[in-house]
Chain A
Amino acid sequence: MINNLNILFPEIFLSLSIFTILMLGVFIKKSFNIIFNLTLLIIVATVMIILSNPDNEVKIFLNSFTRDAFSNYFKILILISSFFVLNSSKNFILDNKLDKFEYPIIVLMSILGMFFMVSSNDLILFYLGLELQSLSLYILATIDRDNLRSTESGIKYFVLSALSSGLLLYGCSLLYGFTGSTNFDLIADKLTKENTGAVFAMVFILVGLAFKVSAVPFHMWTPDVYEGAPTSITSYFAVVPKVAGLALLIKFMFIPFSNILLEWQTIIIFISIGSMILGAVAAMVQKNFKRLLAYSSIGHIGYALAGVATGVVSGYQSAIIYISIYVIMNIGAFSCLYLIKKDGQYKESISDLSGISKKHPILAISLLIILFSLAGIPPLGGFFAKFYVFVSVLEQEMYTLAIIGLLTTVMSAFYYLKIIKTIYFDDSAITFDLTKNKKAQFSIFASCIFLVTFFLYPSIFNNMVTALFVS
């Protein structure tokens, strides 16, 4: 039993820390700064703990909780991206008076939820983790409670997400009904193509997961929530829950539904194509930068799902590489928003970017790198992300998917170019405040350096990702 607790140590550490800093927050006045810094410290400590543990596969608690290389990779990705998102958004939080001490604590709780999601090997544990994450995200979306748009976006997110959770739960219960178990491994054994009810259940589960990663046709909430929520929350939404959602999609495909892969695959192909096309088309007419990033994230999830849709390990690996690079690009893109300020107000419409190339040459060139990378132009990191996905898609001879994917790349290049046009070609009528925000600058710098130098050693992720599917 003690050994089992050892395996659960990162989760235990995280929960105990949450309780501790919650107490601290209650009893110390003006505690935001302390709690915030402690949160960052906890995240770093959790990364250390995970890294110090071996990552051979262990299943505990009646095989309901797995610790393996797969879950550890995703946990570390979640932690590192949360660290950068939180760290770079600190000044934004302070400037917008969002400095409630609950903020970082709720972020930690959502991380805890995601931990259980990626480690779950059982429907119940999976659902509990998902709900812990979702509930935290509802609160985060409405954290700016005096702001009408933030509240609206939070309510919208809550209603739609609760609906999708309901569908997901319904799917879980059907699955239990038709297979007689909630354990992933047992479900995988019992599930066959003849089991129509289970296929039915699979569709409901897929709907729930597609909602969480905001894939078409369950993407409706994304633009509104991204636009309405404060930028610091949006950047968290755009990065971290997507990682967990994708991990779950891969896990469901890999373990419980591996016998009905064909049915599952067909749906994912359609979802992927839909997301890629919608992401490319709808983003063209956007005027708000956050809303544009929302559509672009839908498109990017489409590419990652194209990797998942292959239904083979190399495809899953490419999807994981894709999401990892996506995370890095988006952290950079959102951090740029923290630096664009006029008269004390953060600006988020694209036209406000006009002429920053003269006032902030370094910011402009960073944004240039990030946007070209998002568009997938070589030699930047974003190209390799797409390249790996299409290599595995074409390995499965899914030519339609590959060609549609690449054509939407060209379409989406159009709106990234439009932003670059605003930055570099248009004359500016606005003068910006010179913002000193070391933390955001650090995130942008790190992200740009990564994207630019990625071509020197493009197999950096391949080595890590290959180890995830050994079992």
Chain B
Amino acid sequence: MNFPILSTLIFLPLISSLFIFLSKSKTNNFGVISISLFGSIATFFLSLFLWYSLDTSIPDFQFVEDQSWINNFIKFKLGIDGISILFIVLTTFITPICIVSCINSVRIRVKEFLIAILILETFMIGVFCSLDLVIFYLFFEAGLIPMFLIIGVWGGPRRVYSAFKFFLFTLLGSVLMLVAIIVIYWITGTTDITQIYEIKIPKEYQNLLWLAFLSSFAVKMPMWPVHTWLPDAHVEAPTAGSVILAAILLKMAGYGFLRFSIPMFPNASEFFTPLIYTLSIIAIIYTSLVALMQDDMKKLIAYSSVAHMGYVTLGIFTLTKQGIEGSIYQMISHGLISAALFLCVGVVYDRLHSRMISNYGGLVNYLPKYSFLFLVFALAALGLPGTSGFLGEFLVLTGTFQKSYLAAMLATFGVVLGAAYMLWLTKRVIFGSTNNSEIKKINDVNKSELIMLTVLAFFIIFFGFYPMPLMETFDISINSLIDNYQNDLNANQL
């Protein structure tokens, strides 16, 4: 394949954002929305084509593009394997949904909003495609700019505080990763990760480098105790911003652990496993308890995201096949479920301009379709069998039981807490009664909202019953990841 298909995929949203920038429709938002929708759906189909043509029987990177970029130093190297393709498809799938959600929720500066979303999509796809540490860092950090603007310009009342917190937290975490990347360059003489996998970083450097990478990924994930930016960012961000943040940006860190931390620093990964277990368990239990106490719907879902990400880190660092498979599954399914939940909150927020749980109640009487969909997503979020949320958590817990009974028991306790806050949320919002008379006046979901939510609900249930398409895609890649990890560990112990 000589055609640079990955570069096309990365820059397609950027090009469509250029079209929007140049278009002159000031009064008519329909035009710019259709351009961006067209661009993002084209990107989606291109990524589906990639998924289709990806050979999942070999663990190697495919569609590799390798161009010289900075003389004798860094190459612009792209490539995908069974793990990254799923995240790319998730990204390209969520973006059109975000664009559709703009129709109802974004009232001012629609054009700029769409440009920001599309540029963000470019950077997000770039993160999952890059096979070079510097390129990865470039895309990883660049995403801050559009997200900062999305929160800051279109956000709620405390948007400035949240946007600053988001930006500075993430930047602070990432600069240490930049130091680590440059140090890796001076140790191995390259930043191309396929070469670094082979050269192998000496054991004595691994721990510090691993911690530097952790500082970035822990903030992005977010792991306890650096998760505090996430609830703020979620609460203030507009609906589409929350969706992208929860569905994709949080997954970058999990992907980063799989692609960088574990293969590059196997010894350090093993050494720090107890640390990750501890932080994950705290995240699962503590943030679930915090979620129980929230009176803001978005904040509740944000804390539940932190708890779900706790399962992801737990699963990844079990370093068993089930654990890692579960983590990836959990990331994909959380991408769909949290996106759907934030969209649901957005639907009622657009109508009543309140996210307070106490302002709602008895929605099932007035918004039957909405209530049904909300219930589906809430049950998926608590991991009901038959939804994609169940499989991820189940596999993670299976993997954890092989390594540590204590961790697995505590994590299982988190599942119960998850059910508690999700069901209580549903009880208070969907069922029950309310004194708020305005609820009676609002309309049920309109066509565009119905389409978005139904599509998401379909995939959540589909992947709950039939996980094979996902499992088959990343199966070989995970096998080779674990094999290489074990080989590296054995090699270093000898």
Contact = CB atoms under 8 A, between A and B. Distances in A.
Nearest to B180: A394
Given A394-B183, A462-B70, A410 B142 contact: no
B185 interface: yes
B152 A394 contact: no
Contacts of A462: 70-71
B186 interface: yes
A463 B68 CA distance: 14
Contact of A413 (B73, B137, B152, B171): B171
Contacts of B134: 387
A391 B164 contact: no
A377 interface: yes
A467 to B, nearest CB: 12
B160 to A, nearest CB: 5
Interface string B127-142: 0000000100111011
Given A377-B145, A391-B182, A459 B153 contact: no
Contact of B138 (A379, A420, A421): A379
Given A403-B179, A458-B69, A459-B71, A421 B160 contact: yes
Contact of B175 (A409, A417, A455): A409
A420 B153 CA distance: 10
Contact of B153 (A378, A407, A424): A424
A363 B68 CA distance: 34
Contacts of A410: 168, 171-172, 175
Among B73, B160, B178, the most chain A Cβ lie within 10 Å of the Cβ of B178
Contacts of B185: 391
Interface in A378-410: 378-379, 383, 387, 390-391, 394-395, 399, 402-403, 406-407, 409-410
B379 interface: no
Interface in B135-167: 137-139, 141-142, 144-145, 148-149, 152-153, 159-160, 163-164, 167
A394 B138 CA distance: 19
B160 A425 contact: yes
B182 A394 contact: yes
Given A390-B179, A407-B175, A458-B70, A425 B152 contact: yes
B149 A424 contact: yes
Contacts of A372: 145
A83 interface: no
B176 interface: yes
Given A394-B179, A424-B149, A377 B144 contact: yes
A414 interface: yes
Chain B binding surface, main DSSP class: helix
Contacts of B159: 425
Given A462-B70, A463-B71, A406 B141 contact: no
A378 B71 contact: no
B447 to A, nearest CB: 32
Contact of B142 (A378, A391, A413, A420): A378
Among B137, B149, B168, B182, the most chain A Cβ lie within 10 Å of the Cβ of B182
Given A391-B185, A394-B183, A378 B141 contact: yes
A241 to B, nearest CB: 30
A361 B168 CA distance: 25
B168 A413 contact: yes
Interface string B174-214: 01101100110110000000000000000000000000000
Contact of A414 (B69, B168, B179): B168
Contacts of A383: 138, 141
A390 B182 contact: yes
Top 5 closest pairs, chain A to chain B, by CB? A406-B175, A378-B138, A394-B182, A459-B71, A378-B141
Given A390-B178, A417-B148, A417-B168, 9 more contacts: A377-B171, A378-B142, A387-B134, A387-B178, A399-B179, A417-B167, A424-B152, A425-B159, A425-B163
16 contacts: A377-B144, A390-B179, A390-B182, A391-B182, A403-B179, A406-B178, A409-B175, A410-B175, A417-B148, A417-B164, A420-B152, A425-B152, A425-B153, A425-B163, A455-B138, A458-B69
